[in-house]
A and B are shown apart, each in its own frame.
Chain A
């Protein structure tokens, strides 16, 4: 018997199975009660189960005591225990409008994929554009470049803000850009300027995708790459917008959206049960 049926609080969960990490958000009566982030590893189904067990333990309930589970993300079909699956676009839109009701353009940049979604005031998806084919427009790009520069991802983002010189990068492809960064290092280009060049280059590709979806109204950004201050600055400049709002806990955007949908579904189920 589920919690809600016993007159207890309603606990639902959203699971976002990304290419690199699995993010889980649990809601207790509509409020965020747990956030869990585990590595996707090679067995997404197993990693998702481990993550869910962690979330359940934090809530002090059993693994199978969630009222409703919704999975999203590239590996969403691997989540056997999900009651429902949701596309990343729908999950992002739902999460973004909850975190910032003014949001009209939602950007989500993950490890291997990026999305731009245009929504209306009700969170309805009007249009979207996705890059899932090329690492150059996603987090993997910046990660590879910071590795070539041998600095942490965090430092890489920060030093980029200190750059005073804008240098163009010729390579688009992540593999070619790595060689280009190495030659920039060899020609004694300052690390901060290389970092900025990398962020500018990636911002160019992400902003092209945003324009395909249509840039309008308040622009918000989620996904793990939103933690990168250097990229966020470069994207704001490239989009030429007055403000680019970083959503709170950006990497959990999709998982939150999935959890909110789970809460809706659980409530629907409960009302059907009441009528019966």
Chain B
């Protein structure tokens, strides 16, 4: 790809499958599909265990994106839609998941997913998504108690990060690492408007700042914005970060500095990805809903 046509905002799609787990022996196959404004994820659980997941970019058509991401998760497993007992849709496009048995808000799903990934100690979840940012407070069961969100403004969202990736010609996945390759932490750029932050970034390059230093100033602005949201809801440990930006250390570390607390890392022996928390929560709901249906049917 030439430099002009390279899509710096593009992050790699992800596909994972549990080795040695056979869905054919299972009694419950449940799926969760999270159709976000920027990315779509599908998670498949087999008897309550993580079996497969897939992450892809959301297209202009939500039902298509839902189908595509579920097909991605099932690919090569021999599983078809008919083999899935129950499906829950979540995310911005949740009402447009054609084959879902139910739609549940992404707030409930992220809390549930985070509880499954980290355990009952998680109380504050920061979900940094493509077009919104939420802080969620939950109990030991992963049940939502309170939340606060910004879904009006690109500052502090993944989309804002993609904009700067394109502006500076740096792959979005390299931003975090490069933002630390600096001599001294610079002052943040505008933390209120991505459009203004972008102009500021361009102006800083013109006056001789290195790209890495501008990235640091941009990540710092995003962290400030998000830390403000956390402050409004209040921080109660354990603190966990989900969503695509959770993978950008440039933002995560700066948030941790501002709120004065480290986020719980994902356990090393798992294959979780923070971006699938919503879809995972949806799949857990699907699993529970199906079991409940079975119980009700059996009792009749």
Where the two chains meet, the residues of A that have a C-beta atom closer than 8 Å to any C-beta of B are 19, 42, 112, 133-136, 140, 144, 172-176, 179, 183, 186
Are A175 and B192 touching (Cβ within 8 A)?
A: no
Are A134 and B159 touching (Cβ within 8 A)?
A: no
The answer to whether B154 has its CB under 8 Å from any CB of chain A is yes
Are A134 and B192 touching (Cβ within 8 A)?
A: yes
Are A173 and B152 touching (Cβ within 8 A)?
A: yes
Taking the closest CB of chain A, its distance from the CB of B188, in whole angstroms, is 14
Are A175 and B60 touching (Cβ within 8 A)?
A: no
CB-CB under 8 A from B206, the residues of chain A are: 42
The answer to whether B212 has its CB under 8 Å from any CB of chain A is no
B contact residues, total (Cβ < 8 Å): 17
Are B203 and A175 touching (Cβ within 8 A)?
A: no
Kindly report which residue of chain A lies nearest to residue B194, judged by CB atoms: A175
The answer to whether B91 has its CB under 8 Å from any CB of chain A is no
Kindly report which residue of chain A lies nearest to residue B191, judged by CB atoms: A133
Measured in the bound complex, the distance between the Cα atoms of B199 and A19 in whole Å is: 10
Are A175 and B154 touching (Cβ within 8 A)?
A: yes
CB-CB under 8 A from B153, the residues of chain A are: 134, 172-173
CB-CB under 8 A from B298, the residues of chain A are: none
Partner of B154, one of A112, A173, A186: A173
CB-CB under 8 A from B159, the residues of chain A are: 175-176, 179
CB-CB under 8 A from B199, the residues of chain A are: 19, 112
The answer to whether B118 has its CB under 8 Å from any CB of chain A is no
Partner of A174, one of B131, B195, B207: B195
Measured in the bound complex, the distance between the Cα atoms of B131 and A186 in whole Å is: 20
Measured in the bound complex, the distance between the Cα atoms of B194 and A188 in whole Å is: 28
Where the two chains meet, the residues of B that have a C-beta atom closer than 8 Å to any C-beta of A are 60, 131, 152-154, 159-160, 163, 192-196, 199, 203, 206-207
Beyond known contacts A42-B207, A133-B192, A135-B193: 4 more, CB 8 A cutoff: A42-B206, A135-B196, A172-B153, A174-B154
CB-CB under 8 A from A173, the residues of chain B are: 152-154, 194
CB-CB under 8 A from B203, the residues of chain A are: 42
Are B194 and A112 touching (Cβ within 8 A)?
A: no
Taking the closest CB of chain B, its distance from the CB of A68, in whole angstroms, is 30
CB-CB under 8 A from A186, the residues of chain B are: 60
CB-CB under 8 A from B192, the residues of chain A are: 133-134
CB-CB under 8 A from A140, the residues of chain B are: 195
CB-CB under 8 A from B195, the residues of chain A are: 135, 140, 144, 174-175
Measured in the bound complex, the distance between the Cα atoms of B195 and A174 in whole Å is: 7
Measured in the bound complex, the distance between the Cα atoms of B194 and A136 in whole Å is: 10
CB-CB under 8 A from A144, the residues of chain B are: 195
CB-CB under 8 A from A112, the residues of chain B are: 196, 199
Kindly report which residue of chain A lies nearest to residue B160, judged by CB atoms: A175
Measured in the bound complex, the distance between the Cα atoms of B200 and A112 in whole Å is: 12
Taking the closest CB of chain B, its distance from the CB of A193, in whole angstroms, is 18
CB-CB under 8 A from A176, the residues of chain B are: 131, 154, 159
